[in-house]
């Protein structure tokens, strides 16, 4: 393994991300903050929703920002770079086994996902005003779940980026990402689905459920959530699945 090459590619992705810092920040932060403002501030202050809803909402917002920014950071450049121009070829020709380039992309995506989570936590908390009672009593579990969510975002981005062509990006969003978010327990806890028993179990195939419930379980443990160890197991399983599928697809795409 050629670590110099690997590190140079990480530097390259970091450089490009820094160059696009403002648009990337706007893209990753604006929507969650607007959602926070409407649901966490307007609806709760007006009394249409209880103040405790803030505790349910905040972890969901963090999970969605982390997932989307990671997926976006990996999938979008991959889709472009594998297109007609094959921009990725200069890196495929670098002296390193090609699957390490996919690993590098995942790590770059994880970094963006984590940065996004770290920025959203205080921003959303401030925007909600008082009331969200975050607990950092379980730092190790929180860190582990954060990492698993970031890895899910990076590996999921790799899988999507290698599976979807440029003209289907809009479709990917409305057909895959949007339903995953809506059925991902981001804006309600999983336990709220108990009046829809079929759906409650059907949504368990959606990895975003575990991302949201996991952050909820560690940041606001007072809200009912899926048991933490089940969440860790499920997230680890999805991470492995997306890693295997994503790497395989990348290798197929990298050579003809």
21-35 and 98-127 helices cross at what angle (nearest 10)?
A: 50
Q: How far is the CB of 168 from other proteins (least distance, A)?
A: 8
Q: How far is the CB of 157 from other proteins (least distance, A)?
A: 17
> Which residue number, 81 or 141, has a Cβ lying nearer to other proteins?
81
Q: How far is the CB of 12 from other proteins (least distance, A)?
A: 5
> Which residue number, 31 or 80, has a Cβ lying nearer to other proteins?
80
Q: How far is the CB of 252 from other proteins (least distance, A)?
A: 10
> Which residue number, 52 or 176, has a Cβ lying nearer to other proteins?
176
> Which residue number, 172 or 208, has a Cβ lying nearer to other proteins?
172
Q: How far is the CB of 153 from other proteins (least distance, A)?
A: 21
Q: How far is the CB of 30 from other proteins (least distance, A)?
A: 22
> Which residue number, 86 or 194, has a Cβ lying nearer to other proteins?
86
What one-character-per-residue DSSP string does 220-253 give?
A: -TTS--S-HHHHHHHHHHHHHHHHHHHHHHHHHH
Coil vs helix vs strand at 186: coil
Q: Which stretches of the chain are DSSP H helices?
A: 3-19, 21-35, 43-45, 53-81, 89-92, 98-127, 139-163, 169-171, 178-182, 197-202, 207-219, 228-254
> Which residue number, 19 or 194, has a Cβ lying nearer to other proteins?
19
Binding positions for other proteins, rule: CB under 8 A: 2, 4-5, 8-9, 11-12, 15-16, 19, 77, 83-98, 165-168, 255-256
Q: Which are the contacts of 162, defined by CB distance < 8 A and separation ≥ 6?
A: 78, 82, 246, 249, 250, 252, 253
| Exposed/middle/buried for residue 15 (C-beta within 10 Å: 0-12, 13-18, 19+) | exposed
Nearest Cα residue to 240 out of 184, 140, 169, 159: 159
Nearest Cα residue to 235 out of 149, 107, 111, 114: 149
> Which residue number, 54 or 91, has a Cβ lying nearer to other proteins?
91
Q: Which are the contacts of 12, defined by CB distance < 8 A and separation ≥ 6?
A: 91
Q: How far is the CB of 85 from other proteins (least distance, A)?
A: 6
């Amino acid at each position: 393994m050629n670590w110099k090459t690997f590190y140079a590619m990480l530097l390259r992705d970091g450089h490009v991300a820094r160059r696009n810092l403002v648009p990337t920040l706007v893209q990753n932060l604006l929507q969650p903050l607007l959602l926070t403002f409407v649901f966490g501030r307007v609806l709760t202050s007006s009394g249409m929703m209880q103040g405790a809803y803030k505790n349910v909402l905040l972890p969901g917002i963090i999970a969605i920002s982390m997932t989307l920014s990671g997926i976006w950071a990996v999938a979008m450049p991959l889709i472009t770079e594998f297109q007609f121009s094959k921009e990725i070829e200069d890196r495929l020709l670098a002296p390193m086994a090609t699957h390490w380039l996919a690993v590098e992309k995942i790590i770059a995506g994880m970094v963006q996902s984590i940065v996004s989570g770290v920025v959203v936590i205080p921003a959303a908390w401030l925007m909600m005003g008082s009331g969200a009672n975050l607990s950092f009593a379980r730092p190790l579990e929180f860190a582990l779940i954060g990492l698993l969510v970031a890895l899910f975002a990076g590996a999921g981005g790799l899988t999507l980026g290698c599976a979807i062509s440029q003209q289907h990006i809009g479709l990917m969003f409305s057909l895959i990402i949007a339903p995953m978010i809506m059925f991902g327990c981001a804006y309600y806890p999983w336990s709220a689905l108990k009046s829809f028993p079929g759906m409650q179990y059907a949504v368990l195939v959606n990895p975003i459920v575990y991302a949201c419930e996991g952050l909820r379980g560690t940041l606001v443990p007072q809200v009912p959530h899926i048991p933490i160890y089940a969440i860790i197991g499920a997230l680890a399983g999805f991470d492995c699945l997306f890693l295997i599928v994503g790497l395989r697809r990348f290798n197929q795409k990298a050579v003809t």
